[in-house]
Amino acid sequence: MKICFALIQKEFYQITRDFSSLLIAFVLPLMILLLYRYGVNLDTVKITLGIKNDDINPKLSTLVEAFNKSKYIKTEYFFNKEEMYNKIKNSKLKGGIIIPNDFISNLEKENTAEILVITDGSEANLANYVSNYILEIANNWLNSSDFKFNLNSPLVVPVTRYWYNQDINSHYFILPGSLAITMNMIGMLLTALVISREWERGTIEGLFSTNISKFDFVLSKYIPYFMLGILSFLFNVFICIYVFKIPFRGNILILIFVGALYLFCCLGVGLTISSNYKEQFSSSQMALSFGLLPALMLSGLIYPINSMPKIFQYLTLILPPRYFIIFIQSEFMAGSIPKIILINSVFLFILGVALFLLVYSSINLRLEKCLKK
Amino acid sequence: MADNCIEIENLYKSFGKIKALSDINLILKRGKTVALIGADGSGKTTLLRLLVGLLYPDSGKILTLNFNPSKDKASILKNTGYMPQKFGLYEDLTVIENLKLYSKLKNTDNNFDILLEFTGLKSFQNRLAGNLSGGMKQKLGLACALLSEPELLVLDEPSVGVDPLSRMELLKLVKKMINKNTSVIWSSSYLDEAYSFDSCVILDKGKIIYKGLTKDLGNNYEDFEEKVIKLMGGFIETPSLIAKNYNVAEHNKECVVLAEKLSKKFGDFTAVKDNSFCIKKGEIFGLLGPNGAGKSTTFQMMCALTKPTSGNGYIMGIDVVENPAKARSYLGYMAQKFSLYSRLTVYDNLNFFAGAYGLFGKNKKEKIKRMLDIFELNEYKNTISSLLPLGFKQRLSLSCALIHEPPVLFLDEPTSGVDVIQRKEFWTHIKALSNIGVSILVTTHFMEEARFCDNISLFYGGEIIAADKPSEIVKNSGTKNMQEAFIKLIKKARNE
């Protein structure tokens, strides 16, 4: 135990003297959070819409007015079709509508009136927004206009309520979720380098020629970075709750507990990488490709796991972020739900222990691997 | 207690296809000092690592202090002090933190004061190990190895890249710190060090070619050296092919390389002070001095890699501060250690450097071919350079530095860690280059190489303390050879 303590002390000296560990633990997550807060937005956005009105009937003015009033739309009027098309081609407009000159007369004749909606199909998501906005505004207008009697009243009217996130503000689930990715990166980057660094600098030879045991060595790599990681985690949670004002409905102790389990997994992945590569460069490459990419793509944060191909769905089962993201999103938005906490903690714990065993078995206190050329 | 400290029978070890050691049989008695001699890659490090259990043998039997290193590594390490080649120090920890760490790892409560006193590190104990000079790092490494008052001391090339004075001090220190029951195994490529040990083991290409008393090989150092060279296959001086194939641009510059009062300060610290010298056409000029004396800084200023605080340097009359690119085009530079692209082939390396020096087309192809011919590299043209035998790696480094046929060549400790024979061979090329008019600036820690220089400038604390022909320096200092002269002059400068 004395040996382990001496090694841990050594790691702390190195952490405090090497500015890059602190950079990874505190500055990097802050930058990622800022990116997710201000850079990533899955919500409805304000669009610019071109309008060409060919119908001079004064009854139409209220419809044009309605487009103008919408807080999601900025309108621009055109008298020339080509001019509007050009602006759409140059992406100056996200869409355009053309109201034909028989619009009102059609309505008055109780016929179906048509408007032409042009959207930019190369941005499919946005195109959807545009056509939905227009449809909704047009329907609303119709409901309050003189032509209301033309409508058949629908049989079913859905009344939507968004639970947990009334404003459907995507930051409320993206930011807590991004914590999982941040912690994943930190946990791996911090530890991916620590064993390779000893190989690279030749200090491992000195270490292995002393009385240290494998257990001492492995623990001395886990404990300091675990502590640093937890500090970093608390720092991130603090920023989310108090600076970005993300509502937190769960229990902070449970959050820390499951966060610790998750960190345990991440450190395990980092150390597994580190103990198998003798160069810091390859280790950090591996950490980025195994740490960041799967966490981003396969964890369910951005793309729902259910819509992935089956094989990828199975693959996500061994990704720690998957479990943590489910947990942290529900902990933030819905409060503590025993079943979710329990299931995800158990999986994280199993993964963490498995990774610990993997690290333990891939370290041997000899230099055998290093001389491979 | 058995009186053998090491017993090895039929030991084999290979890494992949490379046979590192084969058929090693060796018995070393307790209480003796043993030198392990051999070139880089001859298997010295592998043998030492096997002895302390850092590697497993492929086959054969090893007993270190009567324990089997494969099974009982802990029992061996309890009574062994092992100092790895890079000293195993944590450069971001201070001297005292390194000592404390290692004493806890080795479970000893040794009093550091005595060790710090003996090694002269007491006043530096709060300095980061990374900021120590080579000589001091070496002493700290030794102190860490000595912490547990070991029965067996294993030192892996402790003196590579260290100046003669520090080497001598280290050797004295080791002999002072051990008692008559301590066994020492010390690997080295310096024959003068080896000569001062009780017995020696010579390794060549993974095989033992000599084991026995040092004195049996010769009654004085010269005889010893000659015998060792003979054992290692002998050295027949063949004329270098450089003279025939190398074209130096004609010029009539008085000073091909000229330094005028070069000074460099890092904050308050003066690394180099008022250094002036002039290297004539075809002259070999040696910069000697202990580690940290300012040799490398001078080198860097002359290569236009760092800017002098004051003073100036000229290569072929070109100002290195104002026109570094032009000045460098007259310069071939061979850095310490093997600084080529180890994953490229010999040809690719030459091709790259030729391109980097601005050669192209037919001219480039011709020059590459010429270098392959001069250094007899044709056979290895398509070999990955990391797999080359050491001597050929060195030839390749030199040929890359010479590919653009520069009139000036800078060599920074070119022979560090290289065995006697390869060193001699290397110098035949250097001498040939000087004969055809290339001016050469060289640093070295091998004093016997210093005598090949036409002029020497001896450095201490950033200042020149002696500059003359080697023979004059030896004569004026009243000593027998360059090594003694060096030690005497540096000691004198240190006391002043």
CB contact under 8 Å between A209 and B15, yes or no, is no
Nearest to A329, CA basis, from A341, A312, A317, A320: A341
Q: Which of helix, strand or coil describes residue B56?
A: coil
Cβ pair B33, B217 in contact under 8 A = no
Q: What are the beta bridge partners of residue B7?
A: B27, B63
Q: In this predicted model, what pLDDT tens digit does every residue of B440-472 receive, in sequence order? A: 999 888 888 888 899 999 888 888 888 889 888
- Look-up of token digits 């002072």: B176
> CB of B127 within 8 Å of any CB in chain A?
no
Q: In this predicted model, what pLDDT tens digit does every residue of A8-27 receive, in sequence order? A: 999 999 888 888 888 888 88
Q: Which of helix, strand or coil describes residue B71?
A: coil
pLDDT of residue B350: 92
Domain-wise residue ranges, chain A: 7-40+169-372, 47-142
Cβ pair B34, B186 in contact under 8 A = yes
The single-letter code of the amino acid at B193 is E
Distances (CA, A) of B65 to A265, B61, B213, B307: 42, 13, 21, 54
> CB of A141 within 8 Å of any CB in chain B?
no
Q: CA torsion, points A32, A35, A38, A43, in degrees to nearest 10?
A: -100
CA distance B483 to B164: 7
pLDDT of residue A136: 83
> CB of B86 within 8 Å of any CB in chain A?
yes
> Nearest chain A Cα to B130, which residue?
A201
Q: Which of helix, strand or coil describes residue A40?
A: coil
> CB of A1 within 8 Å of any CB in chain B?
no
CB contact under 8 Å between A206 and B102, yes or no, is yes
DSSP per-residue string spanning A263-308 = HHHHHHHHHHHHHH-SSHHHHHHHHIIIIIHHHHHHSSSSS-GGGS
> CB of A13 within 8 Å of any CB in chain B?
yes
**A4, A13, A203, A210: best to mutate for the B interface, most B CBs within 10 A:** A210
pLDDT of residue B66: 87
> CB of B15 within 8 Å of any CB in chain A?
yes
CB contact under 8 Å between B88 and A209, yes or no, is yes
Band of residue A167 on the pLDDT scale cut at 50, 70, 90: low
What residues contact B413, with CB distance under 8 A and at least 6 apart?
Answer: B161, B336, B443, B444, B445
DSSP A26: I
Q: CA torsion, points B212, B216, B222, B225, in degrees to nearest 10?
A: -30
Q: Which of A14, A202, A212 lies at the smallest CB-CB distance from B84?
A: A202
CB contact under 8 Å between B52 and A2, yes or no, is no
Q: Which of A201, A205, A210 lies at the smallest CB-CB distance from B102?
A: A210
List, in sequence order, the alpha helices (H) in chain A. 2-17, 19-22, 28-34, 61-69, 81-89, 103-108, 124-144, 171-201, 203-208, 214-238, 252-276, 280-287, 293-298, 310-315, 320-333, 338-362
Q: Which of helix, strand or coil describes residue B318?
A: strand
Question: Which CATH code for domain A47-142?
Answer: 3.40.1710.10
CA distance B69 to A261: 39
Rg of chain A taking only CA atoms, in angstroms: 29
Q: Which of B15, B73, B144 lies at the smallest CB-CB distance from A371?
A: B15
Check whether A52 has a pLDDT greater than 70.
yes
What is the pTM assigned to this prediction? Answer: 0.78
> Nearest chain B Cα to A5, which residue?
B104
Count Cβ–Cβ pairs < 8 Å, chain A vs chain B: 94
> Nearest chain A Cα to B89, which residue?
A203
**B14, B51, B91, B105: best to mutate for the A interface, most A CBs within 10 A:** B105
Residues of A in contact with B78 (CB under 8 A): 211
Distances (CA, A) of B263 to A335, A356, B269, B307: 68, 55, 11, 9
Higher pLDDT, A87 or A39: A87
Q: Which of helix, strand or coil describes residue A144?
A: helix
Residues of A in contact with B85 (CB under 8 A): 202, 205
* A366 exposure class (CB count in 10 Å sphere: 0-12, 13-18, 19+): middle
> CB of B99 within 8 Å of any CB in chain A?
no
> Nearest chain A Cα to B153, which residue?
A209
What is the token pair recorded at B336? 């310490």
User: In this prediction, what percent of chain A has a pLDDT beyond 70?
Assistant: 94
What residues contact B472, with CB distance under 8 A and at least 6 apart?
Answer: none
Q: Which of B88, B105, B387 lies at the smallest CB-CB distance from A6?
A: B105
Query: Which sign, positive or negative, has the C-alpha torsion A223, A227, A232, A236?
Result: positive
Which helix or strand (DSSP H or E) is residue B415 part of?
none
Residues of B in contact with A6 (CB under 8 A): 100-101, 104-105
Cβ pair A225, A191 in contact under 8 A = yes
CA distance A334 to A353: 29
CA distance B452 to B436: 16
CA distance B39 to B285: 26
pLDDT of residue A24: 83
Band of residue A142 on the pLDDT scale cut at 50, 70, 90: confident
CB contact under 8 Å between B101 and A203, yes or no, is no
Q: B215's torsion region: left (phi>0), alpha (psi -120 to 50) or beta?
A: alpha
Cβ pair B274, B430 in contact under 8 A = no
Q: Which of A2, A210, A372 lies at the smallest CB-CB distance from B77?
A: A210
> Nearest 5 degrees, angle CA B228-CA B232-CA B234?
90
> CB of B76 within 8 Å of any CB in chain A?
no
The single-letter code of the amino acid at A199 is W
> Nearest chain A Cα to B387, which residue?
A373
CA distance B307 to B461: 19
Cβ pair A228, A190 in contact under 8 A = yes
Query: Strands B199-204 and B207-213, how do they pair?
Result: antiparallel
The single-letter code of the amino acid at A316 is T
Nearest to A111, CA basis, from A102, A120, A119, A122: A102
A102 CB neighbour count, 10 Å cutoff: 16
DSSP B154: E
What is the token pair recorded at B491? 């000691």
Q: Which of A17, A202, A366 lies at the smallest CB-CB distance from B88?
A: A202
What residues contact B438, with CB distance under 8 A and at least 6 apart?
Answer: B246, B248, B282, B406, B407, B408, B409
> CB of A3 within 8 Å of any CB in chain B?
yes
Q: Which of B52, B92, B387 lies at the smallest CB-CB distance from A209?
A: B52
> CB of B89 within 8 Å of any CB in chain A?
yes
Q: How far is A211 from chain B (nearest CA, A)?
A: 5
Q: Which of A14, A206, A366 lies at the smallest CB-CB distance from B88?
A: A206
Residues of A in contact with B16 (CB under 8 A): 372-373
Cβ pair B144, B134 in contact under 8 A = no
Q: How far is A312 from chain B (nearest CA, A)?
A: 37
Query: Strands B183-188 and B152-155, how do they pair?
Result: parallel
Residues of A in contact with B53 (CB under 8 A): 366
Q: How far is B313 from chain A (nearest CA, A)?
A: 35
Q: How far is B405 from chain A (nearest CA, A)?
A: 33
pLDDT of residue A180: 86
CA distance A352 to A15: 23
Nearest to B254, CA basis, from B230, B232, B228, B282: B282
Residues of A in contact with B100 (CB under 8 A): 6
Q: Which long-range contacts (CB under 8 A, 24 or more apart) does B158-161 make?
A: B158/B83, B158/B87, B158/B186, B158/B188, B159/B188, B159/B190, B159/B193, B160/B85, B160/B189, B160/B416, B160/B417, B161/B134, B161/B291, B161/B336, B161/B413, B161/B416, B161/B417, B161/B445
CA distance A247 to A253: 16
Check whether A373 has a pLDDT greater than 90.
no
> CB of B350 within 8 Å of any CB in chain A?
no
Q: Which of residues 38-67 of A touch B (CB under 8 A)?
A: none
The pair phi, psi for residue B480, each rounded to 5°, is -90, -40
Cβ pair A335, A250 in contact under 8 A = yes
CB contact under 8 Å between B101 and A368, yes or no, is no
Averages of pLDDT over each 10 residues, chain B, 496 residues: 81 84 89 86 88 90 88 86 87 90 84 82 86 84 87 88 83 85 88 87 88 86 85 79 76 86 86 89 90 82 88 90 87 79 89 88 89 87 83 86 90 81 87 91 88 89 86 88 88 84
> Nearest chain A Cα to B82, which residue?
A209
Q: What are the beta bridge partners of residue B188?
A: B37
pLDDT of residue A372: 39
**B52, B54, B65, B390: best to mutate for the A interface, most A CBs within 10 A:** B54
Q: Which long-range contacts (CB under 8 A, 24 or more apart) does A109-115 make?
A: A110/A150
How many CA atoms, within 13 angstroms, populate the side-chain half-sphere of residue B314? 15
CA distance B496 to B491: 9
pLDDT of residue A371: 42
Question: How long is chain B?
Answer: 496
* B494 exposure class (CB count in 10 Å sphere: 0-12, 13-18, 19+): exposed
Q: How far is B459 from chain A (nearest CA, A)?
A: 30
Q: In this predicted model, what pLDDT tens digit does every residue of A203-252 receive, in sequence order? A: 888 888 888 888 999 999 999 999 999 999 999 999 989 988 888 888 99
Query: Strands B463-468 and B199-204, how do they pair?
Result: unpaired
pLDDT of residue A370: 45
